[in-house]
Structure 1
Amino acid sequence: MQVKETQNDGLKRGYQFTLPAADLATAVDAKLKEAQPEVEMKGFRKGKVPMAMLKKQFGQRILGEAMQDAIDGALKDHLEASGDRPAAQPKVEMDNGDSWKEGDDVVVNVSYETLPTIPEVDLTTLSLEKLTVPAEEAAVTEALENLAKSSQSFEDRKKGSKAKDGDQITIDFKGFVDGEPFEGGEAEDYPLVLGSNSFIPGFEAQLVGAKVDEDLKVEVSFPEEYGAPHLAGKAATFECKVKAVKAPKEAEIDDELAKKFGAEDLDGLKKQISERLEAEYAGAARQVMKRALLDQLDKKVTFDLPESLVEAEASQIAHQLWHEENPDVQGHNHDAIEPTDEHKALAVRRVRLGLLLAEIGQKAEVTVTDQEMTQAVLRAARQYPGQERAFFEFVQKNQGAQQQLRAPIFEDKVVDLIAEKAKVEEKTVTKEELEKAVEALDEL
Structure 2
Amino acid sequence: MEQCRPFVVTIASEKGGVGKTTLATNLAVYLKALNEDLPVTIVSFDNHFSVDNMFAIGPRRGASVAGLLRNEDPVGLAHLGEYGVQYLASERHLSPPDDDPLRLRTLLAQSTLGGILIIDTRPVIDYFTRNALAAADLLIIPVKDRPSLVNAPAILDVFVAADGNPEHAWLLPSLIDARLKLRNNIGMQEFLTFSGRERGFQVLDLCIAKSPKVESLTTGLSSRIYPILTHARGTIVHQQFRQLADFVLAEERQRPAQPVLKALQPLSPGRLRRLQRKCPLCGSSIQSEAVHYWHDQRSRRRGALHRRCLDQIFGDDTLADWQDQGASLLYCDLDNAGVSGDADEAILRLLDRHGEEIQTRPIQVGAGSNFEKILVAMTGRSVGDFFRERLFIDLVAAPLSEELSDPRYQTFHTLRRMILRHQTSGDTI
TM-score range, shorter chain: under 0.3
Compute the TM-score of the two structures, normalised by the length of structure 2.
Answer: 0.23
Higher RCO structure, 1 or 2 (CA under 8 Å, sep 6+)? 1
Task: State the structure with more CA Rg.
Answer: 1
Flag the structure with higher helix content. Answer: 1
Compute the TM-score of the two structures, normalised by the length of structure 1.
Answer: 0.23
